[in-house]
Structure 1
């Protein structure tokens, strides 16, 4: 009985040793060593990728913070004055200002983007009226003079006016010399344009958009300044 047990143990031991030797024979030493080395390498790669992501996040956060601070908290002393249009049509003309129909305001020449303004006017081909119910048609040539109190044009003008201001802002951001009028810099007006361009499906709003005289244009109301920076 003891002999059988010893024989079984001996056979088991032999088979175990044979399996280990077979495994060792199938996997050379460099493979088993590679298994030990690969885990630290993976850890190092993970640490490196994590560090890169953290750096990218910090750079993005810093850039956003600086942009937000610059766009909302720029000191007026950091801006270079490029002129203003005073407080009346006579003063605006004396200062060489131009009545920009798309701004619905008098603007100093350095801040007048004639190319952009003319392109939007040409694309929309607005018609102008002396009353909010139509009335007598007023020529664009007369409007460019700015010698009027209030006139009216198509209901879509208001949205085009806001898009025009945003295009001015984007051009200024891309330019090495950031010259921009005071209306385009005004945070309250930017918020106003956001509301104008928001979706509004109310009957009143749709009727205003469809009206040929749904938007007023003021001639004696807005006199802008111009600054660089």
Structure 2
């Protein structure tokens, strides 16, 4: 059987043309068959801010806040642009991905290859043991 791809092209413009959307849980542009929009919406309401919002920063010192929309555009300059988040964000990202893996058995969604592997599980294990570890990420178009 042919395995569907979670790729969204080479630019955010192409991603939109292909029907992809930015998924803040994945920190990636994903097509519909690779997104669990209900789970991502829950994640977006699980932060410490008003209405469960998360805070993101452009800098390591966490002094320059940036929006999810600004983060989504970072995919056009993947090699250079990174965003920063709290350790709490990273722990919940891992927990929500655990749920995404489980839910994929029943909802027909595909978990993107970037996260559907033992390497990501080991990475999350490090996050659970040291929540301050790895609180910086880039944005992917092809996962």
TM-score of the two chains, using structure 1 as the length reference:
0.50
Q: Deviations over 1:101-135 (max 9, x none)?
A: 11111211111111111111211121122211122
Asked if 1:147 corresponds to 2:73, the answer is: yes
Alignment of 1:36-75 (within 5 A): none
Aligned Cα RMSD in Å?
2.5
Count of matched residue positions in the alignment of Structure 1 and Structure 2: 132
Q: Deviations over 1:115-171 (max 9, x none)?
A: 11111121112112221112222233443xx11222222221111111121111100
Instruction: Output the CA distance in 1 between the equivalents of 2:138 and 2:34.
Output: 19
The Cα of 1:180 is off from its aligned counterpart by: 2.6
Of 132-141 and 112-121, deviating more is 132-141
Asked if 1:216 corresponds to 2:136, the answer is: yes
Instruction: Output the CA distance in 2 between the equivalents of 1:158 and 1:180.
Output: 18
Asked if 1:163 corresponds to 2:91, the answer is: no
2:50 maps to none
**Unaligned 5+ residue runs, structure 1?**
1-77, 225-229
Q: Stretches of 4+ moved more than 6 A in 1?
A: none
**Residues 215 and 182 from structure 1, CA distance in 2 versus in 1: closer, same or farther, beyond 3 angstroms?**
same
**Residues 111 and 192 from structure 1, CA distance in 2 versus in 1: closer, same or farther, beyond 3 angstroms?**
same
1:18 maps to none
TM-score of the two chains, using structure 2 as the length reference:
0.75
Instruction: Output the CA distance in 1 between the equivalents of 2:21 and 2:44.
Output: 15
Q: Which is bigger in relative contact order (C-alpha 8 A, separation at least 6)?
A: 2
**Residues 159 and 222 from structure 1, CA distance in 2 versus in 1: closer, same or farther, beyond 3 angstroms?**
farther
2:78 maps to none
Would you say the 8 A contact 2:33–2:108 is kept in 1?
no
1:183 partner SS: coil
**Unaligned 5+ residue runs, structure 2?**
48-52, 75-80
1:161 partner SS: helix
Asked if 1:100 corresponds to 2:31, the answer is: no
**Residues 178 and 129 from structure 1, CA distance in 2 versus in 1: closer, same or farther, beyond 3 angstroms?**
closer
Structure with the greater alpha carbon radius of gyration: 1
Greater per-residue helix proportion? 1
Instruction: Output the CA distance in 2 between the equivalents of 1:176 and 1:128.
Output: 30
